[in-house]
Amino acid sequence: MKPRILIILACLMLIGTKLSAQDIHFSQYYASPLTLNPALTGKFNGLWRVTGIYRDQFRNSVSQNPMAYMTPSFSLDFSLLKNKLKTDALGVGAVVLYDQIGGLQTLKAGVSVAYHKGLDKNNKYHLALGLQGIYGNRNIDPSFTFEEELIANPTFQDDQFLAANNEAVNSIDMNAGLLFDGEFTDWMTFYGGYSFMNILRHKDDFIATPSGDAEFQTPFRHVAHAGFEFAVKKFLIIPGALYQTTAKTREINFGSTFGYKLLSKKEKTTTLFLGAWYRLDLALIAKAGVDFENFRISGAYDLGIAGLGKDLRNDTGARMPNAFEIAVSYFGPYGTPPTTDTYLFNPRF
């Protein structure tokens, strides 16, 4: 098969996936808390948290344009009223996300609110409920055109095809989430959450019937995530898993991250992290990171092992699909610390 045709089919496959199945996701899913679960809004110790993450996909394996497949995201959230609510807290925040896949560009912006309820007087167990409103804008780069092989394909003339006017499409939707965490012992914490995404099932006008009437509704997306954090002297062991499903697709991630605590001269803890994860049937994921005072910096590298990457490698000699991510978080401390212990476990890595 000609390399050009393979690239066209690859782009089409990815665009179709974005439109009708898998939503935007990150290998370091906890590094982007407000796109994972609205209940994570305000789920940290401190007053405010700013996070940024950048994902770069398929560099030099599907497209020669190094910026053709990228996803940056930025969020800011606050953990409020801890002095007044004792074991409870109120989280509010906002998130902006941009995704480019070939010529398809998606911008999403949302606001979140979450209530974190302490379940015991010692403040070791919490249950959080979060809600999120999302505005979306999707368009096609005017300079993006399909090749002759695709335009002439009768499949796209008779079944589904991109709306001819290529106008931007706006949408409004809603997400909701639950999160539980418990510090069962001094050295073991468990956390688990569930997100219900695309509750309003907004219409996506980029998929149209032959008559030109947009009828496609974005499917629900269900996300379950859970894990433990074990502390053994200077070592941390953080196993975890994520499962999400949309329409007829699913994604399963699982693995473990390991940390080692160092002490600086000022007795402030620095923790180094290394992790190995697996996206079922799709990719091996290596993770690394560091916590230093109020900063957290981490990175991930995905090595594709199946599917599109295998076909491209065998037929054209191209590299297997890969992706890398880099994420940075900063946790702003309180000007006046809370008068009571307001421990809020913050899932990480």
| pLDDT at residue 248, as a whole number | 83
| pLDDT at residue 223, as a whole number | 97
> For residue 252, what are the β-bridge partners?
243
Give CA–CA dist 162/140, Å, rounded.
10
Asked if 136 and 105 touch (Cβ cutoff 8 Å), the reply is no
| pLDDT at residue 206, as a whole number | 58
CB-based contacts of 226, cutoff 8 Å, min separation 6: 190, 191, 192, 193, 240, 241
| pLDDT at residue 102, as a whole number | 72
Q: What is the largest CA-CA distance in the chain?
A: 70
DSSP labels, 188-220? EEEEEEEEEE-TT--B-TTEE-TTS-B--BPPP
Alpha-carbon dihedral sign for residues 287, 289, 294, 295? negative
For the 3-332 domain, the top CATH level (class) is mainly beta
Element (H, E) at 236: strand 235-246
Asked if 42 and 131 touch (Cβ cutoff 8 Å), the reply is no
Asked if 293 and 272 touch (Cβ cutoff 8 Å), the reply is no
Single pTM value for the model: 0.83
DSSP labels, 272-332? EEEEEEEETTTEEEEEEEEEETTEEEEEEEEEE-STHHHHHHHHH-PPPPEEEEEEEEEEE
What are the average pLDDT values for consecutive 10-residue runs of the chain, which has 349 residues? 41 42 77 96 94 82 59 96 89 95 86 96 93 91 55 46 60 96 94 96 64 67 96 94 92 96 73 95 93 93 70 46 90 72 77
